[in-house]
Amino acid sequence: MADAALAAGTVRPVKYGSISRDRKWALRWSYFFLVLFVIFFLMPPVYMFITSIKSKAEIAAVTNPWWVYSPTLENYIELLSRNQYLIFFRNSAIVSVCVVAVTMLISVTAAFALARMKFWGSATLATGVFLTYLIPDTLLFIPLFKMFAWVRDTTGIELMNHWWTLIIIYPTLSVPFATWIMIGYFASIPKELDEAALIDGASWLQTLTKIFIPVALPGIIAATIFSFTVSWAQFLYPLAFTTSTDQLVLPVGIVTTLIKGDVFNWGEIMTGALLGAAPPLIIYAFLMDYYIAGLTAGATKG
């Protein structure tokens, strides 16, 4: 419809009345405000980038903060040649990839069972999954902290201060929503499709792998992206459960090691934050439609 409005505005001369003129002005105002909002929304990341290519001396000299007089890559070189930052990155990458794998394994099978193979209590469970999604990490970290101590006392397995512990807890954040998305996608697949497969003698597992997963692939991609971004961005659990510098993941690593006391090395902090924000941003840039599908699935399918 907006196309039509524009076409009407450009093709037809303005003399035909106020509607097309109004629309033209509405369009101009829309662009004007959109530019303002884009400036507001993009200012912090842009400022991150500006600071990241400044030298220490230039930052300390309090020149125009919005301009770079002598761009340099020294922050990037320094950060990437230091082992510590690479360890954070590696920990984050391993944790996120494992969490995605675990999440998809759990949520796709469970969603299939809940969407197609009803069993006693399955409807309640589907609702429960969604309610679980509402329970925030900020409510669970203290009892989990205590539970880890209990596990150590009874089994001798130390869960505190290990990055792999995060692989166990992050799925609590990603699985409920991923399952919810997948239930929605699976439920939208016509029943005739899997009935045909079952009549042809396919097992339930074959129906899942040969029919449901291929057909619901957009949903699976959306759920994968969601799980990845959630585990990449998670901040509270690693802050509460890991302390040694070789066990930290990126967000916590940057906040706790690059900010030491009152010494803020802003060039490096901004570089670290920008590089840390890069993986989700890159995924978003290439798979925007899936990202948005996953984002809106909760409300439109719920």
Partner 1 sequence: MADIAAQRVSTISGDQRTGLHKLMQRKSTVAFFMALPLILLIAILVAYPAGYAVYLATLNKSMTKFVGLGNFDFLFKRATFWDIVFQSCLFAISAVIFKAIIGFVVAHFVHNIPSKGQRKWRGMLLVPWVIPPAMSTLAWLWLFDPSYSAFNWILVHLGMHGIPWTGEANWARFSVILVNIWVGAPFFMIMYLAALKSVPEQLYEAASIDGATWWQRIWYVTLPMMRNIIAITALFSTIVTFANFDIVRVLTSGGPLTSTHLFATWAFKVGIESGDIPLGATVSLFMVPILAVGAVFILRDISKRGSEV
154-193 positions binding partner 1, by CB under 8 A? 168-169, 171-172, 175-176, 179, 191
SS3 letters across 105-174: HHHHHHHHHHHHCCCCCHHHHHHHHHHHHHCCHHHHHHHHHHHHHHHHHHHCCCCCCCHHHHHHHCHHHH
Contact 187, 115 (CB under 8 A): yes
Contact 244, 236 (CB under 8 A): no
Which pair of structure tokens corresponds to residue 280? 């989700």
Interface with partner 1, residue 147, by CB under 8 A: yes
Using the rule CB under 8 A, give the single segment among 79-87, 117-125, 154-162, 209-217 that binds partner 1.
Answer: 117-125
| Residues 271 to 300 in contact with partner 1, rule: CB under 8 A | 273-274, 276-277, 280-281, 284-285, 288, 291-292, 295-296, 298-300
Interface with partner 1, residue 138, by CB under 8 A: yes
Interface with partner 1, residue 248, by CB under 8 A: no
Amino acid at residue number 214 = P
Cβ nearer to partner 1, comparing 76 with 204: 204
Q: Which of 12, 21, 118, 152 binds partner 1 (CB under 8 A)?
A: 118
Q: Which of 75, 224, 229, 242 binds partner 1 (CB under 8 A)?
A: 229
Interface with partner 1, residue 93, by CB under 8 A: no
Helix H or strand E encompassing 278: helix 266-286
Residue 14 DSSP one-character state: G
The candidate with the shortest Cα–Cα distance to 302, out of 133, 130, 178, is 130
Residues in the interface with partner 1 (CB under 8 A) total 107
Shortest Å distance, C-beta 192 to partner 1:
9
Cβ nearer to partner 1, comparing 138 with 244: 138
| Residues 25 to 44 in contact with partner 1, rule: CB under 8 A | 26-27, 30-31, 33-34, 37-38, 40-44
Interface with partner 1, residue 232, by CB under 8 A: yes
The pattern of x and - marking residues 251 through 270 that bind partner 1 according to CB under 8 A reads xx-xx--------x-x--xx
The candidate with the shortest Cα–Cα distance to 253, out of 76, 81, 85, 97, is 85
Cβ nearer to partner 1, comparing 87 with 184: 184
Q: Which of 55, 141, 221, 265 binds partner 1 (CB under 8 A)?
A: 141
Using the rule CB under 8 A, give the single segment among 69-77, 115-123, 155-163, 210-218 that binds partner 1.
Answer: 115-123
Helix H or strand E encompassing 263: strand 263-264
Using the rule CB under 8 A, give the single segment among 2-10, 69-77, 79-87, 211-219 that binds partner 1.
Answer: 2-10
Interface with partner 1, residue 57, by CB under 8 A: no
The candidate with the shortest Cα–Cα distance to 252, out of 273, 267, 268, 227, is 273
Shortest Å distance, C-beta 50 to partner 1:
9
Which pair of structure tokens corresponds to residue 225? 């992206």
* d(C-alpha 167, C-alpha 99), whole Å: 6
What is the distance, to the nearest Å, from the Cα of residue 177 to the centroid of all Cα atoms in its chain? 12
